[in-house]
Amino acid sequence: MSTSKRTLVYGIGNPYRCDDAVGIKVAQEIAEQIKSQDIDVKWGSIDGVAILDEIVDYHRVIFIDSIKTNKGKPGDVYKIKQPSGKSTETFSSHGINFLTAIRFGEKFKLNMPVQIDVYAVEIKDNTSFTEECTADVLNSIPKVVQVILEEIKETDGTKLRKNQNRI
């Protein structure tokens, strides 16, 4: 169990694959507004076991990533709490899924976060090579930023930088 009270906000994505960059863009906006020494904000392309290197020793982790479902509209936002239950613990030298990485961290008694939340933004295009998101996804970024900042403020008492509150 984690002894640190630090929080990590991590935006996941590929900055060159259109809407897949939304997690990175949200994290960059949050980084401009966070004023607390107890909150780290990072972003990048990460998956598999590498996730453990980033989250060990944090009390709480908030991931922001893209998702593509058959039923959602681009720009919809979903909050996924840390999943419980068993994962299929398959391992490959090429990578493992998120839940399996978490279970490995627990199995090897790493100092894992007490709370992990994932904010997933419904996307339209993750195949075009561009640094720009589509309009609906781009328009959802301020809303996602505000929701995450409000949650952090409520749970951690974090202060935001002056004159940068959105909405």
- All structural domains of the chain: 7-156 (3.40.50.1450)
pLDDT at 5: 77
pLDDT at 165: 32
pLDDT at 80: 87
pLDDT at 77: 96
What are the helix (H) ranges across 34-120? 50-55, 98-107
Q: pLDDT below 70 — which residues of the chain?
A: 1-4, 82-95, 156-167
Report the DSSP pairing between strands 77-81 and 39-44: unpaired
Distances, alpha carbon 100 to alpha carbons 3, 52, 54, 110, 138, in Å: 23, 11, 15, 14, 31
In sequence order, what DSSP letters do the residues of 105-119 get, joined into one string? HHHTT----SEEEEE
- Per-residue tokens: 131: 């640094």
pLDDT at 98: 80
The angle formed by the CA atoms of residues 49, 151 and 148, to the nearest 5 degrees, is 60
pLDDT at 26: 98
pLDDT at 94: 47
Q: Mind listing the pLDDT tens digit for each residue in 94-117? A: 467 888 888 889 999 999 999 999
pLDDT at 99: 82
pLDDT at 156: 67
Give the predicted TM-score (pTM) of the model. Answer: 0.84
